[in-house]
Amino acid sequence: MFTVRDYSIPRKLTWMNMLVSGTALLIAGAGLFIYDLYSFRVGAVRDLGIQAQIIGSNSISAVLFDDSHSAETTLSALQAAPHVMSAEIYTLDGTAFAGYSRDRSESPPPPPAIPNGQTEVYRFQNGRVALVRLIIFHGKPVAMVYMRSDLGAMQEREKTFAIIVAAVFLMALLAAMWMSSSARRSIAEPIVRLAETAQIVLREKNYSVRAPANPGRSEIAVLITSFNEMLAQIQERDAALGEARDHLEQQVEERTAQLNAANADLEAFSYSVSHDLRAPLRHIGAFSQILSEEYGSKMEPDALRHLSRILTGVRNMSRLIDDLLHMAQIGRKSLVRAPTDMNTLLKDVVADLQPEFEGRRIDWLMGKLSAAECDAGLLKQVFANLISNAVKYTRRREVAIIEVGQLEGDGAPVIFVRDNGAGFDERYADKLFGVFQRLHRPEDFEGTGVGLSTVQRIIKKHGGEIWAKSEVDKGATFFFALAATGRRHVLAKKAATGG
Q: What is the pLDDT of residues 306-340, one digit of tens each?
A: 777 777 666 666 666 665 666 566 666 677 788 98
Asked whether residue 489 is domain-assigned, the answer is yes
| Total residues belonging to the chain | 499
Share of the chain above pLDDT 70, in %: 75
Mean of pLDDT values over 38-42 = 84
Determine the pLDDT at residue 81. Answer: 83
Asked whether residue 187 is domain-assigned, the answer is no
For the stretch 200-204, contacts whose Cβ atoms lie closer than 8 Å and that sit 24 or more positions apart, written own/partner, are 201/231
pLDDT tens column, 125-142: 777 888 999 888 888 888
Whether the pLDDT of residue 15 is over 70: the answer is no
Q: Assign residue 104 the CATH number of its domain.
A: 3.30.450.20
Helix (H, G, I), strand (E, B) or coil at 401: strand
Residues 372 and 440 in one domain: yes
Determine the pLDDT at residue 2. Answer: 42
Torsion sign over Cα 96, 101, 105, 110? negative
Q: Assign residue 389 the CATH number of its domain.
A: 3.30.565.10
Asked whether residue 201 is domain-assigned, the answer is no
DSSP secondary-structure letter at 410? S
Determine the pLDDT at residue 499. Answer: 44
DSSP code per residue over 289-328: HHHHHHHGGGS-HHHHHHHHHHHHHHHHHHHHHHHHHHHH
Residues 12 and 132 in one domain: yes
Last residue of a domain, one of 167, 197, 230: 167
**Distance, CA of 253 to CA of 255 (rounded, Å):** 6
**Distance, CA of 160 to CA of 41 (rounded, Å):** 17
Residues 299 and 406 in one domain: no
103-117, 268-282, 364-378, 485-499: least confident range? 485-499
Residues 64 and 133 in one domain: yes
Residues 71 and 63: beta-carbon distance below 8 Å: yes
Residues 355 and 426 in one domain: yes
Residues 362 and 288 in one domain: no
DSSP secondary-structure letter at 146? E
Whether the pLDDT of residue 1 is over 50: the answer is no
Asked whether residue 101 is domain-assigned, the answer is yes
Residues 11 and 149 in one domain: yes
Residues 218 and 356 in one domain: no
Q: Report the 3 state secondary structure along 352-386.
A: HCHHHHCCCCEEEEECCCCCEEECHHHHHHHHHHH
Determine the pLDDT at residue 132. Answer: 92
Residues 23 and 64 in one domain: yes
Residues 352 and 322 in one domain: no
Asked whether residue 174 is domain-assigned, the answer is no
Last residue of a domain, one of 312, 332, 352: 332
Q: How far apart are the first and last CA of the chain?
A: 55
370: domain range? Answer: 334-496
DSSP secondary-structure letter at 449? S
Mean of pLDDT values over 61-78 = 86
Determine the pLDDT at residue 227. Answer: 75
Residues 119 and 152 in one domain: yes
- The verdict on pTM exceeding 0.85 is no
Pairing mode, strands 338-340 and 362-366 = unpaired
**Distance, CA of 99 to CA of 75 (rounded, Å):** 7
Nearest to 492 by CA among 478, 481, 471: 478
**Distance, CA of 483 to CA of 479 (rounded, Å):** 12
Residues 373 and 314 in one domain: no
For the chain, how many structural domains are there in total?
3
Q: How many CA atoms lie within 13 A of 336 on its CB side?
A: 6
Torsion sign over Cα 166, 171, 174, 179? negative
Last residue of a domain, one of 332, 360, 381: 332
Instruction: List residues bridging with 129 in a β-sheet.
Output: 124, 149
Angle ∠(380,386,390) on CA atoms, nearest 5: 135
Tell me the average pLDDT of the chain: 78
**Distance, CA of 283 to CA of 291 (rounded, Å):** 12
Asked whether residue 121 is domain-assigned, the answer is yes
Determine the pLDDT at residue 490. Answer: 47
pLDDT tens column, 210-220: 777 767 667 76
Helix ranges restricted to H, 124-218: 152-183, 189-204
Angle ∠(115,116,121) on CA atoms, nearest 5: 35
Whether the pLDDT of residue 78 is over 90: the answer is no
Asked whether residue 173 is domain-assigned, the answer is no
Determine the pLDDT at residue 416. Answer: 93
Asked whether residue 179 is domain-assigned, the answer is no
Nearest to 83 by CA among 150, 37, 28, 38: 150
